[in-house]
Structure 1
Amino acid sequence: MASKTYLRKPEWLKIQLNPNDNYKELKQMMRGKTLHTVCEEAKCPNLHECWANRTATFMILGNICTRACRFCAVTTGLPTELDLQEPERVAEAAEQMGLRHCVVTSVARDDLEDGGASIFAATIQALRARLPFCGVEVLIPDFLGRRESLETVLAAKPDILNHNVETVERLSDRVRSKAKYSRSLELLQRSKEINPAISTKSSLMVGVGEEWDEILQTMDDLRKVDCNILTIGQYLQPTKQHLPVLAYYTPEQFAQLKEEGLKRGFRHVESGPLVRSSYHAHEQVQSAALAPNG
């Protein structure tokens, strides 16, 4: 049986690790408050940079996901954790960090009736109480299409509602677990119907077998549901059990994709090899706020 061939990682994807004092302090604080970050759980390539700058994406509802997406390094299984005090601990940590923009995401919790929406809402409220001038962004799962769960999150009035399509429609069933491309678009559309004032955001990873025209079609699909902010980054295989990388996009190609997104009317497009959904999130908000409505 022939062995698998793995593409060599190009020079522009080499990451400079910098475990400085800010990084060490933040890691110690997270462990002390028994909090999880998607930065660690998903093996984000920007972890050292972001933590050194005292920014992080909090991951609520535990660290075990009920889904097994083929691109994601988060542990899969049957969750046992539901901590009603977690929202307050997240807010305490954000206050200690002095955050001006806080991103909150979660594992998928299909075992819960509301998918964890009430914990998202409580976290937003706790952040507002402690940090009234801090921007709050939530990166939510699809809640299996439950409108009531989305309404619960939006009622807490986050500044940005983020939900990732992850990949092009043709590859969605292969790359994601249980999630549906059409359901993701429906969630973003419903968000605008429920509260048009809340900016919406989505993310694409490239290098899993998509065609260029399919990326552009995904941009068009997102704009049809009035998605405001788009991030595009290179897929990196977390382990040999996950999807292989089929192509590495060059910085020039990422620049082209950014141009294509802006032409289509996104208020902000963050596009680059190491870009992830919440990378430079505070800058995305500022840029989007200054851009014409789209």
Structure 2
Amino acid sequence: MAVVLDLLARDQRPRHPEKAKRPDSPIQRKPDWIRVKAPGSPKWAETNRIVRDNKLVTVCEEAGCPNIGECWEKKHATFMIMGDTCTRACAFCNVRTGLPEALDPEEPAKVADAVAKLGLTHVVITSVDRDDLPDGGAAHFAEIIRRIREASPGTTVEILTPDFLRKAGALEVVVAAKPDVFNHNLETVPSRYLTVRPGARYFHSVRLLQRVKELDPDIFTKSGIMVGLGEERNEVLQLMDDLRSADVDFLTIGQYLQPTRKHHPVIRFVPPDEFKAYETSAYAKGFHLVSATPLTRSSHHAGEDFARLREARRRAAATA
């Protein structure tokens, strides 16, 4: 009960004062193909305890991920670094927006300790946007990668980063720390950026991913989008071409789910057969790995996907 009350207390904190003036958008009833088991198993509670003991933030909770029950049951938590407050106010995102607090200098050690205690063989580290920092938090990302390597040498590290917009040299700092997977999500097609992701720039994000490969071709690159935000099929196919031009290895596509009435509405619930068609098209365009289902999220099954990604690269090299 204490765990449940703790989560309820977190949810009751004001999250989006800057979105209060937006008109309400009724939340649609989810279709039958979007159903998940509520969290609460003993293993879920153990993961929750380790997260709380280390005073860490997870995107699983902050973004209201529907897969938290399944992932925490397996002790798979995605750590969200640099606080729980983002400097941007994207229309789809449930992470709190405002003026963030100063970085916690102890956070790298805390994250590394939690990774070791959970026994993770693959960990995903993401963050809020920190436009207030001169480097956007790049050095903090790099330090956390280094600390995880020291504490858990056998653990592979996947990062899901902001776009480091107007932060010269930031990307180079992160890439030099040699994450195994560099993920940066495009989130949606370019025509939807003004309303869905107004603080970002589509072609800057594509170029960011391309630049990672130029700096270190051994790092796997990954990007993801949500569907159901009003995009057209041909726009999604063009986005795939843009990512392949940037040599991105792995694409994820999932259904957008509206967090609150103040967020962007779901324009459409995309049926599973359309996700399968997107997967087929993406593989035909040359992605090493594709995950396209209604409940696909960037870090869902990340460890298993990383093993598949390595094997796909090995096979491609063998036939080259």
| TM-score, normalised via structure 2 length | 0.89
Rounded to whole Å, the distance in 1 between the matches of 2:218 and 2:73 is 33
Residue of structure 2 equivalent to 1:96: 117
Q: Deviations over 1:146-191 (max 9, x none)?
A: 3411011011100000000000011112111311101100100111
- From 159, 163, 180, the equivalent of 1:138 is 159
- Unaligned stretches of 5+ residues in structure 2: 1-23
Residue of structure 1 equivalent to 2:170: 149
Rounded to whole Å, the distance in 1 between the matches of 2:99 and 2:291 is 34
Residue of structure 1 equivalent to 2:145: 124
SS in 1 for 2:162: coil
Residue of structure 1 equivalent to 2:274: 253
Residue correspondence of structure 1 range 1-294 to structure 2 within 5 A: 6-291=27-312, 292=316
Q: Deviations over 1:129-148 (max 9, x none)?
A: 01111110000001114341
Which stretch shows the higher mean deviation, 170-179 or 61-70? 170-179
* AA in 2 matched with 1:122: E
Which stretch shows the higher mean deviation, 65-74 or 170-179? 170-179
Q: Deviations over 1:236-274 (max 9, x none)?
A: 000000000001111111111111111111110011111
Rounded to whole Å, the distance in 1 between the matches of 2:167 and 2:140 is 15
RMSD (Å), alpha carbons: 1.5
TM-superposed deviation, 1:6:
4.9
SS in 1 for 2:61: helix
Residue of structure 1 equivalent to 2:9: none
Q: Flag the 1:95–1:6 CA change in 2: closer, same or farther, 3 A.
A: closer
- Unaligned stretches of 5+ residues in structure 1: none
Does structure 1 conserve the Cα–Cα contact (< 8 Å) formed by 2:25 and 2:265?
no
SS in 2 for 1:39: helix
- Identity %, equivalent residues: 49
Q: Flag the 1:155–1:10 CA change in 2: closer, same or farther, 3 A.
A: same
